Amino acid sequence: MEFAVIQTGGKQYKVQVGDTIKIEKLDGDHKKGDKITFDKVLMVDDGQDTTIGTPYIKGATVVATFEEAGKNKTIDVIKYKQKSRYFKKNGHRQPYYKVTISALK
């Protein structure tokens, strides 16, 4: 079972071919079906050999297909101080990009 660990959007993801992952940040404008290449590959394991980068593996890429962009569920952010009539409530919806991993090179 071949997998890789990639870094994007300030986070690390363990991916395999066929996986669908939600990523927080991508540069540029993308449409459904666009190919996205991740070149910050930290580790590749092909079942027998494990290659670990320092910090990245030169020449290794992970190719993904863009699926959709959207927003996650609302998270309520509440600030409250007792006995002082202080109450603030805000909502936050984090944007995400859904991609499907198509190839590990």
- Residues (pLDDT < 50) of the chain are none
For residue 22, give its domain range.
3-104
**Number of domains making up the chain:** 1
Single-letter residue type at 11: K
d(CA 26, CA 8): 8
> For all residues of the chain together, what is the average pLDDT?
91
pTM: 0.79
d(CA 26, CA 50): 28
What's the pLDDT score for residue 69? 92
As a whole-number percent, the residues of the chain with pLDDT over 90 amount to 62
SS3 state of residue 17: coil
d(CA 99, CA 18): 10
Cβ neighbours of residue 103 closer than 8 Å, sequence gap 6 or more: 17, 62, 63
